[in-house]
Amino acid sequence: MIDQGSVQIALVVDAEQRLLGTVTDGDVRRGLLRGETLESPAENIMNRKFNTLPADSSEQKVEMMMRDQLLHQIPGLDPEGRIVRLFIQREMLPGKILPNWVVLMAGGQGKRLRPDTENCPKPMLHVGGKPILEIILKQCINAGFRKFFISVNYLKEQITGHFGNGDRWGVKIHYLVEDQPLGTAGALTLLPKPPSHPILVINGDVLTRVDFSKLLLFHQEHKASATLCVRAEKTQIPYGVITSRDYRLLSMREKPVVSHQIIAGVYVLEPHMLQLLPPDKCFDMPVLLKNGKAQGKPVFVFPIHEYWLDVGHSAALEQVNDEWDG
């Protein structure tokens, strides 16, 4: 219902239309982290402590609650708690462009994709007739982002020549030129000045159907210092696995399937996280997140249940070309 509708929320009501709970994209993802599935009943994940307003509330009151509590929708109820209307942020505050910067990491050599990357940087390989990096850029534009930084190193002229300053897409694009490879986070030290808002960081070889504006909202709702996207992956162990204690067999499982949460290559970082990066050094994102967590900074996980693929090897490139549509 959330995907089919245009208001990004589902309202759970009783037979008399009294509001029982609300379900947003964030509620779904928090449920997945608790072990729910997309087939679970909505009542298992719905928010029972929802924010509401009287249906006849003034625009000023609605706008104030939306700004203060970072709400995109507020149900409007009658005195008996029945749904009368839904206040929607984009109608109250139309035409909002996100002020957040996006950093696209595109400096890698793509060694696992050779010979395809001998004369072409990995993010410029084509999927459905378009460079991977262009697909990611357009997804971010559709989500409301307008200012981009692209980290470049290997065959950088192909990237800068294709994207230019972003005028072709109605956005601003700047380049973070790595004189030497700086890893999956080090290029952030090349930003011209500290950002004023959380930044979205995306590896240039990741394709997903996630709405990045939903990720940003999830990050803000949890008051996170950093949020990393993860993907559930299952691995089947091709042997029987046992557990034992004091030489006694406790249990045995034949070829069990183990589920892992893997890093998906998409992050949101608060500006203060960039202060943990050493200048001009190769530095990877997992180390940055680990250091932040060690300092007590809240790091949250955003599960991706939508399509996701790391185009890091030839088989993945073939797979995404078969699967990706538009």
Q: Let me know whether 137 and 280 are in one domain.
A: yes
Q: Let me know whether 151 and 263 are in one domain.
A: yes
How far is residue 110 from each of residues 107, 156, 207, 313, measured CA to CA in Å? 9, 13, 15, 8
Q: Let me know whether 173 and 203 are in one domain.
A: yes
End residue of a domain, out of 57, 92, 127? 92
Tens of each residue's pLDDT in the chain, 326 residues: 887 776 788 899 999 889 999 998 889 989 998 889 889 999 999 999 888 888 888 777 887 788 777 777 888 888 888 888 888 876 655 556 889 999 999 988 777 777 777 888 889 988 888 899 999 999 999 888 999 999 998 888 999 999 999 998 989 999 999 988 888 899 999 999 999 999 999 999 899 999 898 899 899 989 999 999 999 888 888 999 989 988 889 999 998 888 888 999 999 999 999 999 998 889 999 999 999 999 999 999 999 988 898 887 878 888 888 888 76
Distance (Å, rounded) from C-alpha 155 to C-alpha 125?
A: 12
What angle, rounded to 10 degrees, do the helices at 132-142 and 156-163 form? 40
User: Which residue segment(s) compose the domain that 39 sits in?
Assistant: 10-92
Q: Let me know whether 26 and 154 are in one domain.
A: no
pLDDT score of 93: 52
Q: Give the total number of structural domains in the chain.
A: 2
Q: Is residue 138 part of a domain?
A: yes
Q: Let me know whether 50 and 132 are in one domain.
A: no
How far is residue 274 from each of residues 8, 216, 290, measured CA to CA in Å? 31, 17, 13
Q: Let me know whether 184 and 61 are in one domain.
A: no
- CATH assignment at residue 86: 3.10.580.10
β-bridge mates for residue 86, sequence order: 75
pLDDT score of 94: 52
Q: Let me know whether 104 and 251 are in one domain.
A: yes
Q: Is residue 34 part of a domain?
A: yes
Q: Is residue 275 part of a domain?
A: yes
Neighbour tally for 248: CB within 10 Å: 6
pLDDT score of 191: 95
- CATH assignment at residue 126: 3.90.550.10
* Residue 205 tokens, joined: 């070889």
What end-to-end distance do the CA atoms of the chain give, in Å? Answer: 23
**Closest by CA position to 102, among listed 175, 210, 202, 211:** 202
Q: Is residue 308 part of a domain?
A: yes
Q: Let me know whether 75 and 56 are in one domain.
A: yes
How far is residue 69 from each of residues 55, 72, 161, measured CA to CA in Å? 18, 9, 43
Q: Let me know whether 43 and 145 are in one domain.
A: no
- pTM of the model as a whole: 0.76
Q: Let me know whether 132 and 42 are in one domain.
A: no
Q: Let me know whether 74 and 121 are in one domain.
A: no
End residue of a domain, out of 61, 92, 123? 92
Q: Is residue 313 part of a domain?
A: yes
